[in-house]
Amino acid sequence: MFDGLKGLTQIASLMRDAPRLKARFEEARERLRDLRVSAETGGGAVRATVAGDLRVTRVEIDPAMLGALIDPAAAEDRLIAEELIAGAVNAALGKARSAAESELQAAAGDLGFPLPPGGLGGLL
């Protein structure tokens, strides 16, 4: 019975702190919008940059490096280029997701906000 009351007390405390929670998480979201992480594949042939809010902001292709790796007229070589691009984008997204999770966990920790087991996992 008292466990139920303890849970209600925690919920009431969270409700009282709602404006502070909202402000702290909004600060974290702002920092994530400004965050940029990059990853590359093909020895630097392709570099992808992703924002902390998981938007791809830039894909750079080194013409000299890429030209040495593929012949654009060959279908198999184009496939390699596409795989390099997808690999760089996915690697950068993974870095951005990790950075976003760390930022949000820090914000939650600062506020004493309980996180589910396994962190923010599927929330990002």
| Cα distances (Å, whole numbers) of residue 84 to 11, 60, 74, 92, 117 | 48, 11, 15, 12, 35
Q: State the total domains in the chain.
A: 1
Domain assignment present for residue 97? The answer is yes
CATH of residue 36's domain is 3.30.1310.10
Range of the domain at 28: 2-111
Place of tokens 């279908």: 75
Residues 6+ apart with CB under 8 A from 115: 105, 108
Cα radius of gyration rounded to whole Å, the chain:
21
The per-residue pLDDT for range 34-56, each reduced to its tens digit, is 999 999 998 888 999 999 888 89
Domain assignment present for residue 77? The answer is yes
The per-residue pLDDT for range 56-104, each reduced to its tens digit, is 999 999 888 777 777 878 888 888 888 999 999 999 999 998 888 888 8
